[in-house]
Structure 1
Amino acid sequence: MRSHVYGLVRDAILSGKLKSGEKLNERQLAGSLGISTTPLKEAFRILEAEGLVRSEPRRGIYVTFDPAQAEEMMLARAAIESMIARQAAKRVSEEQILRMRALLIEMRTGLETVDVLELINLNERFHNVIHEASGCAYLRRLQGGQSIYNHTARLSVLSEERERFLAVEEHEAIADAIAERKPDLAEQRMRDHVIRSGEKHLIRVSQSEDQKDRA
């Protein structure tokens, strides 16, 4: 229950639904989720440790996630993912290349059905194959710490048709570089992909902040 509640609140913060500076009403939020305040309090403690909320004595819980923090998380992901792609290009197996290609075919099919959640699932499975191919256990653990942010960013970006097509094209280019065992190219293409899509998500977060300021 705690992890489920934590995921729901964290997703709302990272997507901009809960905005920087906004006070979180425990009872109201618990009521909307259909839960008691106990798992919510536990979730708040984890979120505070992550720097997404702050607790002020006798005042309450406030959201602290803002566009600057979103940019930092995007840059961290770009650094980690690009190095993972680099190592994958050195170590990838033929079986892993086939799995990447198969997922890309499914992604192309998904563009026609416009099933955004399925595209996100395929997207994450594609990146997981690259992570596996890299053999970088430590980097994978670091990247795992950003999994909910990554999922939220993908949901935000892939809701646009143009972005869905761009994402598949960029994934195909990354897969080509890895399959051709070109570490420099794989690293660059992955970094460019993560930064471009991350900046798109950053625009969404910034727009949410602007709407809050005008309210």
Structure 2
Amino acid sequence: MSTAARARLDPVDPSLLRGLRDHVHEALRRAIVSGEIPSGAALNERQLAEELGVSTTPIKEALRRLENEGLAVTEPRRGTRVTFDARQAEEMALARAALEGMIARLAAQRVDDAALAAIQATVEQMRAATAEGDVPRLIALNEQFHDAIHDASGCRYLHRLIEGQRVYDHTARSIILGDAEERGRAFAEHAAIFEALARRDPDAAETAMRDHVVRSGRHHVKAAFDRRKEQAS
């Protein structure tokens, strides 16, 4: 009895595979940055694959990416473990504050009217998203606001330095902006940064930006790590 012929299957779209890998990586990164997976915790490939309902292949890639981002480390015969902790989170916030502050200073000196108008439009969108409690929209607008200031500054070198923290910043913002009071404080701080830029005041722009990033970083540390201490006690 012959086997019935069937049509040849088309290859799976690689974009679908990339989507799964990105989803697994984002899920693990968010769990680490939020403090749900604490510093020192082992990241077992088979256990994670079972929990996420995937094969170990995207898990292996996610662990490599986490290590490249400085959130985990792999040691011979000991496997992979989380290294991200409150101290590292605070150090990253302080480093970002220094870079963002200098970028804001230079932006205040170099910004033109067209760039100011674009930043103001973003601030007004942030005002509406804050009032509506639209967290995903606020995260996107936050990144748009900072990117616009980077562009206005013309600081390509400083922008490249800060790009390495983008993955951390995106996840941290999703945690920070989930709090209604924090959304209000963050908007007021962004508005103050814009006002300093509009006045072409380098000192005020640098101070407003630096203070905003430092305070937001401390809020993230408190939300992610103090909560875990409370749960453990």
Q: TM-score, normalised by structure 1?
A: 0.92
Aligned 8 A contact 1:93 1:133 in 2 = yes
Match of 2:183 in 1: 164
Counterparts of 1:40-79 in structure 2 under 5 Å? Answer: 40-79=59-98
Residues 50, 107 of structure 1: alpha-carbon distance in 2 compared, 3 angstrom cutoff? closer
1:95 partner SS: helix
2:151 alignment partner in structure 1: 132
Q: Distance in 1 between matches of 2:230 and 2:88?
A: 18
**Counterparts of residues 170-185 of structure 1 (less than 5 Å):** 170-185=189-204
Greater relative contact order, per chain length (Cα 8 Å cut-off, separation 6+):
1
Offset at residue 95 of structure 1 (A): 1.0
Q: Is 1:17–1:208's contact at 8 Å kept on the other side of the alignment?
A: no
What is the identity, as a one-letter code, of the residue corresponding to 1:160? D
Shift, 1:32, TM fit: 3.1
2:175 aligned with 1:148: no
**Amino acid of the residue matched to residue 161 of structure 1?**
A
Structure 1 residue 163, shift from structure 2 partner? 0.9
TM-score scaled by length of structure 2: 0.85
1:90-145 residue CA offsets vs partner (Å, 9 max, x unmatched): 11111111111111111111122211111111111111110110111111111111
Q: Which runs of 4+ in 1 moved over 4 A?
A: none
Identity %: 53
Match of 1:30 in 2: 49
Computed over aligned residues only, the root mean square deviation of the Cα atoms, in angstroms, reads: 1.7
Question: Shift of residue 184 of structure 1?
Answer: 1.1
Gaps of 5+ in 1: none
1:88 and 2:107 correspond: yes
Instruction: Read off the aligned partner of 1:184 and give its amino acid letter.
Output: D
Matched-pair contact (CA < 8 Å) for 1:157–1:197: yes
CA displacement, residues 38-86 of structure 1 (integer Å, 9 cap, x when unaligned): 2321222232243321223333221111101001100011011101101
Residue 33 of structure 2 corresponds to residue 8 of structure 1: no
Give the deviation of 1:173 after TM superposition.
0.7
The separation in 2 between residues aligned to 1:182 and 1:29, in whole angstroms, is 50
Which shows bigger deviation, 36-45 or 144-153? 36-45
What is the aligned length? 214
In structure 2, runs of 5+ residues without a counterpart are 1-17
**Aligned residue number for residue 130 of structure 2:** 111
Report the Cα distance in structure 2 between the residues aligned to 1:3 and 1:76, rounded to whole angstroms: 26
State the secondary structure of the residue aligned to 1:28.
Answer: helix
Distance 1:40 1:212, change over 3 A: farther
